[in-house]
Amino acid sequence: MYLKFLAGAFVTLGLFASARGAEDEDGLLERARAVFSALPADAGTEQYPVTPERVRLGQMLFFESRIATDGIMSCAACHKPGLYFTDGLVKSIGNQGRPLPRNAPTVLNTALQFVQHYGGNRKNVEEQAVRALISPLAYGNASYEAAMDRLRAIPGYKAAFEAAFPGQAQPLTAENFGLAVGAYERTLLTPAPFDQYLRGDADALGAGAKAGLHQFLELGCGGCHNGVAVGGQMYQKFGIVEPYWAATGSTPIDGGRYVDTKDVNDTYLFKVPQLRNVAVTAPYFHDGSVATLPQAVKVMGRVQLGRKLSDTEVADIVSFLDSLTGVVPASLLQTPLLPPNASR
């Protein structure tokens, strides 16, 4: 969560409540609508359609650990439905128990972002799923064909792939694995009170959340955290005013996109994370170095703005961020039945 705080006016909750009349309430809503938009029904596109068969298969594959070389890793290992599709760890644990270099963000609403991963080295959720098959820290397979051989050894997947990709001579492929998992992840959207507000229900946000929204916009946070996901649409340097690790205590120091591009201009650049469900997906930042949301907001004020935010400012901004917590449908919290192993 790299909030870009810019200098601007500060209005306390008391002033907000007494000074903003009906016209000002309308004005705040219009300002919000100019920066954000409500969630769609799903994140499917013409190129990446969301069909019942693909989603059903993708959900099974999301929980499938038999494709991993250690028989343990799966998408759900780091993205647990009961933890808002995170794992709650500072840094995740990968194949063969090896630690991952970064914190695992939620995959809720993630398909709405312009790239995937903190450094943007995956263009979409489909590519992320496919590349995980041969990642030593994820599924650990030596090749895509080796990964598919593991799936082919489970009889039930043949029919599931054929249903999801009709008309293909050999539908059980790594590319289709990615398309199926991607279709499932494109359904993982969580409408929140803020969406009700954007659709015209002024009572969906309380006074504190509205004060926080006002501050969020006035401080310039919406310059980076905007759009339907409230972020995830650009890169930004983490530590504009001072090194981020001075405030977070991060060790080791992560170079951001530079790790992937080796371009010095990308040093300490990270994808601006989405803020949906941020209040329930601690710990924070790429390395999980900050445990609480109020502290994360203070860190951003310091390293992005060079400003010490007051306790009232922080509390109001956190109240607004709370309004981004959405409802996870019960169907998404259920682990699907997976095809059994061959009996003989």
Q: Is 220 exposed, middle or buried (0-12, 13-18, 19+ CB in 10 A)?
A: middle
| DSSP letter string, 152-186 | HTSTHHHHHHHHHSTT-SS--SHHHHHHHHHHHHT
Say what the pLDDT of residue 140 is: 97
Token readout for 149 is 């051989």
Phi, psi of 99 (to 5 degrees): -75, 140
Q: Is 73 exposed, middle or buried (0-12, 13-18, 19+ CB in 10 A)?
A: buried
Say how far residue 10 (Cα) sits from the centre of its chain. 29
Say what the pLDDT of residue 333 is: 85
Looking at the predicted structure, is the pLDDT value of residue 176 above 90? Answer: yes
Say how far residue 251 (Cα) sits from the centre of its chain. 23
280-304 pLDDT, tens per residue?
999 999 999 999 999 999 999 999 9
Looking at the predicted structure, is the pLDDT value of residue 210 above 80? Answer: yes
Handedness of CA 252, 257, 260, 262 (dihedral sign): negative
Superfamily of the domain at 52-189: Cytochrome c-like domain (1.10.760.10)
CATH class of 13-39+191-322: mainly alpha
Helix (H, G, I), strand (E, B) or coil at 284: strand
**Mean pLDDT, the chain, whole residue set:** 92
123-160 pLDDT, tens per residue?
999 999 999 999 999 999 999 999 999 999 999 999 99
d(CA 130, CA 224): 29
Looking at the predicted structure, is the pLDDT value of residue 205 above 60? Answer: yes
Looking at the predicted structure, is the pLDDT value of residue 174 above 70? Answer: yes
Q: What is the mean pLDDT of residues 258-285?
A: 98
Q: How many CA atoms lie within 13 A of 71 on its CB side?
A: 1
Say what the pLDDT of residue 344 is: 56
Contact 316, 309 (CB under 8 A): no
Domains 13-39+191-322 and 52-189 in one fold: yes
Structural domain boundaries of the chain?
13-39+191-322, 52-189
35-86 pLDDT, tens per residue?
999 999 999 999 999 999 999 999 999 999 999 999 999 999 999 999 999 9
Say what the pLDDT of residue 15 is: 40
214-245 pLDDT, tens per residue?
999 999 999 999 999 999 999 999 999 999 99
Say what the pLDDT of residue 11 is: 34
Residue 190: CB atoms within 10 Å: 20
For residues 38-59, one letter each, b for 16 or more C-beta atoms within 10 angstroms of the residue's C-beta and e for the rest, the string is ebeeebbeeebebbebbbbbbb
Residue ranges in 219-333 assigned as alpha helix (H): 244-248, 258-261, 293-300, 311-322
Handedness of CA 166, 75, 276, 81 (dihedral sign): positive
